[in-house]
Chains A and B, each alone.
Chain A
Amino acid sequence: MKAEAGEIRAEGWTCASCGSPLELLPADIAYMGSSFQVELPRCRKCGFTLIPQDLAEGKMLEVEKLLEDK
C-alpha cells in the first residue's frame, strides 16, 4: 500500500497521552498475512497511530479487499 504523505490528513490532532503533535513516521501495517511499511501520523513517544476516516474507507479498504481476493 502506498500512501503519500500529502494524502493523509490528521490536522489538529495531538497525542492525548503526552500532548505531542503527530509526525509522519513509518508504521508496519498488516492484513491477511501480508505486511507493508507506510508513513502514518503517529506519536513518536507513545507509538499510537492515527488512521483518518478517508484512509480507512479509501485506500485501506481497497487493499483489504484486494488481499481478501488473493
Chain B
Amino acid sequence: MEQKYLRDFEARCTQEEPPACRSMCPLHVEAREFACLMAVERLDEARKILERSMPLAGLAAFLCPGHCREHCRRSEVDAGVNLPMLERACLLYTRSTKPMPMPASGKTAAVAGGGFSSLCLAYELGKKGFRVNLYHQQDIAAAFAALPPRTFPERSLGEALEQLAALRVSFEQVKDFSPDRIASLRGEKILYLGLDDPDLDPAAFGLAGPGDPLTLESPVPGLFAGGAGLSFIQAAAAGKRAAGSIVRFLQGVAPSSAREGEDIYPTKLITDLSAVAPLPPPDPADPLVPTREEAKAEAARCIPCDCLLCVKKCAYLSHYESYPKRYGREFYNTLALKFGNRRSNIQIISCALCGLCGVVCPNGADMGSFCLEARREMAQSRHMPVSAHEFALEDMAYSNSAEVAFYRPQPGRKRCRTAFFPGCRLPSSLPEQTGRLYTFLTEHLDGGVGLFYRCCGAPARWSGRERLTAANAAGLREIWEEAGGPELILACPSCALFFASELADIPVKSLWEILPGLPLPKQARPLKQSLALHDPCAARARPDLIRAVRDLAGALGQETEELPLGRDLTRCCGYGGLASAVNPELGAEIALSRARDTDKDLLCWCIMCRDSLSAVGKGALHFLDLLFPAGDEARVRPAPGISLRQERALAFRREMLQNIWNEKPDEEGDLDPINIEMDAEVAERLERRRILLSDLKRVLLYAGEKGGQFYNPQTGRTLSSLRPKQVTFWVEYSPRADGVFVVHNAYCHRMLVPGTPGEGLPTAAVLEGFDPRGGRA
C-alpha cells in the first residue's frame, strides 16, 4: 500500500485530534484526561497529568485564568467546564511530587528576570540537566505577594522555589541590571530575558523588543527574550517554548523547526453534541476552595469530547475497540510486514464493506474502501489466509458450475430484450417464489425475458482477488454476449454494485425500479402488522431504489415504518464483504446490532439481509413473501443452511428447466445413491463447521468402496477420512443393513496427515515446500 493512501485516510479521521480545551490551552494541558480522572476521584493521577505539561504545576494551576473555558465544547450546550476550578481542587487535595531532573548535561544557561516565564524556563531547562543561573532584582516572593489574597495557598510558592533548587537552579538577587552586569550577561552563550519582570529593559540589552512570539529568539544568536504582557499561563508557555528553542539552538537546529502545534490552534476533532444534555455547574460555597464533591460534579460535566461517530454505529469498528485512524495504521503495518505474524489479517477481512462509516464520517473516511484495498494487496502478495474465503469462493464456484448455472431465452424466442438475473441467493433461498416472479416478468414485459442464473462474482471482489473477479466477470459476459446482450434485470442490490464496478458496460436495471411500474401480482397481499423497512447496504447510494421500494410497499398496502438508521444510513446485515463467512461470530454481532434497532419485524429487499437477520432470530420477510406469498409464516421461516441452499439451487434449475423449458432432468450425480441419516443436532453441528452433505457423501462413497479406516469394536462405529480438496473430512458412522449410513459425527482439518486418502495433495509434495497459496487464484 502506498504510504500516501494511508496518509490520506489518516488525515480524514479526526479522532486523534486533541479536544478544544487542550488545543486552546497555552500549555496544551491534557484537560480531557485530567477531567475524566477528576470525575472518578483519581486525584493523584490527575495531578500527574497536569504536571506532565504544566511547569511548576503546584503554583501555575492556581494562576490560570482558564483560557480554555470559552472554547470548551460544552459551552455550546450550557457553560464550559471550569478547568481552573478543577485544577485548584486537584492541587489542594494532593501533594506535590519532586521533579526528576535528567543527569547534569554540563550545559548552562543564564536567565535575567524573576517573572513567571523565567521561573518556568528555568524549571524546563533544569529538568533537562541544564545548570541555570537566574538573576533578579526584586525579591521573588514579594512580587507574588502583590497578587490578590488567597490566589494560591501559602505553601505553593515555597514548594515551587524548592523544586527549582532541586533542579540545580541558582538564584542571584542583584542590586540592579547595571551596564557591567548586562555586559557580563551578554557574554553568556545562552541568555534568556524574562520581560515579564518590569526591571528588565530590552533596549539595555541591545534589543528593540521581545523575540519571536513563538520561539522567543532575538536577532542575536543565543539571546532569547519574551514573556511580557501575558497571563501567567501564557508566560509559562512562553518560558517553556523558549526552553525548547534553547535546546534546538544548542543542537544546531533552527529554533523554529518542528514547532507545529505548540501555539494555540482550533482543533479539527469532530464532536457530536446532539446527545449532550445540559448539566448545571455546581455552585461552590467558596470558589477559591472548591470541595472534592464540587470538583467531582464539575468534572462530570466534561463530555468528554470524542468523535467515534462511525464507531458508535458500526459493530465491526466497535468490536476491535479502536477507531479508523488507528486501524488504518495497523493495517498498513501488517501489509508492510516481510516476516512474522500478520496481526491485522483477520480484522481486515472481517469488515462488511458496507460503507456506512464513509457516510457517517463528516470527512468521508471509509474504512470499507480501505479494507478492500488492503485485501487486494493481501491477495496479490499471497498473504490472504487461505482458509478464510475458501468456503465462500467454493460456494460461488458451485453457483457458477455447469451443474447449476444456466441461461435460457424465454420459450418461443431466440433473443430477448431483457433477462432476469435473480443472483445466486434468491433462487436458493426462495426457489418457488423466484420462479413465480420470473413468470410474472415474462407476462408483463415486452420483448421477451430470458432467465440468467449464476452468481455475479461479488464474493470474489469482496475477497480482494482481482484475477478471480475478472475471470468471473469475463465468464458472465461471454454468456451474456451469446444471449444477444439483453438488458439484465437485477434482483440483488449487491449484484447491482458488482455490475457497476466490474461490468459497467452491460445494461442493467434493478428489479426494484421495474416492479412499481407493473400491476401487482394477483396473490400479493400485505401483512396486517406494520413492518420496519430494512434497506440493504449495497443500495445506500441508490435513492431511486430506496424510494421505489417504498412506493411498492405503498401500492401493496403494506404499512411500513422507517428505521432510525435507514436509507443511506442503513446498517449492514453482516453478510456484506463476506464478513460473516470469515468471522461468523462478528457477522452475528453485526446482524444482532441491526436486529436490535427495532422491535418490529423487518421487511427486506435483499435476500441475504433477510436470511442473515433471520438467522439471529429476527422476524424478517423478503418482498417476495408479500408479492408471491407461499402460505408459510414467512417472518419466522428459518434461513436455509449451506447444504440446503446448494440443494435448492440444483432443484431450482431442475424445476425451471423442466416446467418452463420442457427439458429432461439432468443425470443423477455419483453421490446421489449415498443415503445419509443423522439427527438434527449433528446436522446443525455440520452446518456450523461448514461441512456439506456432499462432503460427507464423498467420504462415505470412498469408504464404501475401499473400506473404512478405523473401527471401534465396542460401539460398532467406523471412522473414515478423505481429502477431496485442501480439507480433510472425517466421518464417524454406522452402515445400516438397508444401505443407509447413520452419521454420528463429522469434522475437518486442513493440516496434511500421512495415510489420508484423497486427491487433496500428496504428502511428499507438501513436504517439498508446495505452497497451497499458489494453487488458488
Contacts and interface: CB of A to CB of B under 8 A. Distances in A.
B340 interface: yes
Nearest to B703: A16
B745 A53 contact: yes
Nearest to B339: A70
Interface residues of A, number: 37
B749 A16 contact: no
B772 A12 contact: no
Contact of A49 (B386, B720, B755, B770): B755
Minimum-distance CB pairs A-B, first 4: A68-B385, A16-B711, A56-B749, A48-B755
Interface stretch (B308-316, B424-432, B761-769): B761-769
- In this complex, the interface size class of chain B, counting residues with CB under 8 Å from chain A, is 35 or more
Most buried by B among A13, A46, A70: A13
Interface string B699-741: 0000000011111111100111100000010100000000000
A35 B766 contact: yes
Contacts of A53: 730, 745, 747
A27 interface: yes
Contacts of A63: 751
Given A13-B719, A14-B711, A50-B710, A30 B755 contact: no
Given A30-B763, A49-B754, A17 B709 contact: yes
Interface string B616-660: 000000000000000000000000000000000000000000000
B710 A29 contact: no
Contacts of A15: 709-711
A56 B752 CA distance: 11
A16 B710 contact: yes
Contacts, number: 111
Contact of A14 (B343, B346, B713, B773): B713
A33 B714 contact: no
Contacts of A56: 730, 747-749
A31 B715 CA distance: 33
Contacts of A57: 747, 749
A40 B756 CA distance: 13
A70 to B, nearest CB: 7
B755 A69 contact: no
Interface in A3-17: 12-17
Given A12-B712, A51-B753, A53-B745, A68 B387 contact: yes
Interface of A: 12-17, 19, 22, 27-33, 35, 40, 42-43, 46-51, 53, 56-57, 60-61, 63-66, 68-70
B527 to A, nearest CB: 42
Given A16-B718, A65-B385, A68-B387, A30 B711 contact: no
Contacts of B385: 65, 68-69
A47 B32 CA distance: 66
Interface of B: 340-343, 345-346, 385-388, 707-715, 718-721, 728, 730, 745, 747-756, 763, 766-767, 769-773
A70 B342 contact: yes
B751 A33 contact: no
B772 A32 contact: yes
B691 to A, nearest CB: 12
A14 B772 CA distance: 32
Given A15-B710, A56-B730, A31 B751 contact: yes
Contacts of B387: 64-65, 68
A64 B752 CA distance: 11
Contacts of A66: 341
A12 to B, nearest CB: 5
Q: Which of A15, A29, A57 has the most CB of B within 10 A?
A: A29
A60 B751 contact: yes
A40 B749 CA distance: 15
B730 A16 contact: no
Contacts of A17: 707, 709
Given A19-B711, A48-B710, A69-B343, 18 more contacts: A12-B712, A16-B707, A16-B708, A16-B718, A17-B707, A30-B767, A31-B750, A31-B766, A32-B772, A33-B771, A42-B754, A43-B755, A51-B721, A51-B753, A56-B730, A61-B749, A68-B386, A70-B342
A28 to B, nearest CB: 6
B751 A14 contact: no
A30 B772 CA distance: 11
A3 to B, nearest CB: 11
A64 to B, nearest CB: 5
25 contacts: A12-B714, A15-B710, A16-B710, A16-B718, A19-B711, A27-B753, A27-B754, A29-B753, A30-B751, A30-B767, A31-B766, A33-B771, A42-B754, A46-B755, A50-B709, A50-B719, A51-B753, A56-B747, A56-B748, A60-B749, A64-B387, A64-B750, A68-B388, A69-B343, A69-B385
